[in-house]
A and B are shown apart, each in its own frame.
Chain A
Amino acid sequence: MIEAEDVTRSYELDGVTVAALRGVSLNIRQGDYVAIIGPSGSGKSTLMHLLGALDRPTTGRLLIDGKDVTALSAPEMAKLRNETIGFVFQSFHLLPRTSAVDNVALPLVYRGLGARDRRRHAAATLERVGLGHRLGHRPNQMSGGEQQRVAIARALVTSPKVLLADEPTGNLDSATGVAVLDLLERLNTDDNVALVLVTHDRDVAARAHRQIAMRDGVIVQ
Chain B
Amino acid sequence: MRLAEAWRVALDALRANRMRSGLTMLGMVIGVAAVVVLVALGTGTKETVEAQVEGLGSNLLIVVPGQVNFSSAPTLSRMDNSDLEAMVKVVGDRDRITASLTSGENVRAGSNTAFTTVNGVMESTPKVFLRDLGTGIYLSRTDVDTGRRVAVLGSLVAQRLFGERDAVGQQVTIAGVRFRVVGVFAPLGQSLGVDRDNEVHIPITTAQRLFGTGRVDAFAVKAPDRETIDQLGDQMLAELRRRHPDTEFSAVTQEQILGVLGDILGILTTVLAAIAGISLLVGGVGVSNIMLVSVRERTREIGLRKAVGARPRDIGLQFLLEAVLLTSVGGLAGMGLGVAASLLTAALTPVPATITWWSMALAFGVSAGVGIIFGVVPAQRAGRLDPVVALRTD
Q: Could you tell me which A residues sit within 8 Å of B by CB distance?
A: 49, 52, 54-55, 74-75, 78-79, 81-83, 87, 89, 93, 95, 97-98, 106-107, 109-112, 114-115, 154, 158
Q: Are B12 and A78 in contact (CB under 8 A)?
A: no
Shortest B309–chain A CB gap in Å is: 3
Q: Are B310 and A78 in contact (CB under 8 A)?
A: yes
Shortest B386–chain A CB gap in Å is: 8
User: Which of A74, A89, A109 counts the most B-chain CB atoms under 10 A from its CB?
Assistant: A109
Least CB separation from A110: chain B residue: B309
Q: When each residue 311-324 of chain B gets 1 if its CB lies under 8 Å from chain A and 0 otherwise, what string results?
A: 11110000000000
Query: Which residues of the other chain, A, contact B1 by a CB distance below 8 angstroms?
Result: 109-110, 112
Q: Are A54 and B387 in contact (CB under 8 A)?
A: yes
| A95-B301, A109-B5, A112-B1 known; A79-B309 Cβ under 8 A | yes
The B179-198 residues at the A interface (CB cut-off 8 A) are none
Query: Which residues of the other chain, A, contact B310 by a CB distance below 8 angstroms?
Result: 78, 110
| A112-B2, A115-B5 known; A74-B311 Cβ under 8 A | yes
How many residue pairs between the two chains, A and B, have CB atoms under 8 Å in the bound complex?
67
Q: Is B391 an interface residue (CB 8 A)?
A: yes
Query: Which residues of the other chain, A, contact B305 by a CB distance below 8 angstroms?
Result: 106, 110
| A93-B391, A95-B301 known; A82-B16 Cβ under 8 A | no
Q: What number of B residues sit within 8 Å (CB to CB) of A?
A: 23
**CB-defined A-B contacts under 8 Å, sample of 6:** A52-B307, A54-B391, A81-B306, A82-B308, A83-B309, A110-B311
Interface of B is mostly: helix
Query: Which residues of the other chain, A, contact B308 by a CB distance below 8 angstroms?
Result: 81-82, 87, 106-107, 110, 154, 158
Shortest B10–chain A CB gap in Å is: 13
Q: Is B267 an interface residue (CB 8 A)?
A: no
Least CB separation from A87: chain B residue: B307
Among the listed A49, A78, A95, A114, which residue makes an inter-chain contact with B304, where contact means beta carbons less than 8 Å apart? A95
Shortest B259–chain A CB gap in Å is: 57
Q: Are A81 and B309 in contact (CB under 8 A)?
A: yes
Q: Is B23 an interface residue (CB 8 A)?
A: no
Among the listed A82, A95, A98, A114, which residue makes an inter-chain contact with B309, where contact means beta carbons less than 8 Å apart? A82
Query: Which residues of the other chain, B, contact A81 by a CB distance below 8 angstroms?
Result: 306-309
Complex Cα distance, B311 from A78, in Å, reads 5
Complex Cα distance, B306 from A114, in Å, reads 19
Least CB separation from A107: chain B residue: B308
Complex Cα distance, B148 from A42, in Å, reads 117
Complex Cα distance, B1 from A154, in Å, reads 17
Q: When each residue 348-392 of chain B gets 1 if its CB lies under 8 Å from chain A and 0 otherwise, what string results?
A: 000000000000000000000000000000000000001110010
Shortest A123–chain B CB gap in Å is: 18
- Closest CB pairs A-B (n = 3): A82-B309, A110-B309, A107-B308
Q: Are B388 and A54 in contact (CB under 8 A)?
A: yes
Shortest B49–chain A CB gap in Å is: 55
The B284-313 residues at the A interface (CB cut-off 8 A) are 300-301, 303-313
Among the listed B2, B303, B309, B386, which residue makes an inter-chain contact with A78, where contact means beta carbons less than 8 Å apart? B309
Complex Cα distance, B305 from A127, in Å, reads 23
Least CB separation from B383: chain A residue: A74
Query: Which residues of the other chain, B, contact A93 by a CB distance below 8 angstroms?
Result: 300, 303-304, 307, 391
Shortest B78–chain A CB gap in Å is: 85
Least CB separation from B307: chain A residue: A87
Q: Are A75 and B313 in contact (CB under 8 A)?
A: yes
Q: Are B314 and A110 in contact (CB under 8 A)?
A: yes
Q: When each residue 1-22 of chain B gets 1 if its CB lies under 8 Å from chain A and 0 otherwise, what string results?
A: 1100100000010001000000
Complex Cα distance, B16 from A74, in Å, reads 29
Query: Which residues of the other chain, B, contact A112 by a CB distance below 8 angstroms?
Result: 1-2
Query: Which residues of the other chain, A, contact B307 by a CB distance below 8 angstroms?
Result: 52, 54, 81, 87, 93
Q: Are B391 and A89 in contact (CB under 8 A)?
A: yes
Complex Cα distance, B5 from A112, in Å, reads 9
Query: Which residues of the other chain, A, contact B311 by a CB distance below 8 angstroms?
Result: 74-75, 78-79, 110
Query: Which residues of the other chain, A, contact B309 by a CB distance below 8 angstroms?
Result: 78-79, 81-83, 107, 110-111, 158
Q: Are A49 and B301 in contact (CB under 8 A)?
A: no
Q: When each residue 103-115 of chain B gets 1 if its CB lies under 8 Å from chain A and 0 otherwise, what string results?
A: 0000000000000
Complex Cα distance, B262 from A111, in Å, reads 57
Shortest A163–chain B CB gap in Å is: 13
Complex Cα distance, B386 from A107, in Å, reads 18
Complex Cα distance, B387 from A98, in Å, reads 21
Complex Cα distance, B306 from A75, in Å, reads 10
Complex Cα distance, B310 from A126, in Å, reads 22
Q: Are B391 and A78 in contact (CB under 8 A)?
A: no
Shortest B348–chain A CB gap in Å is: 44
The B54-86 residues at the A interface (CB cut-off 8 A) are none
| A109-B1, A115-B5 known; A78-B300 Cβ under 8 A | no
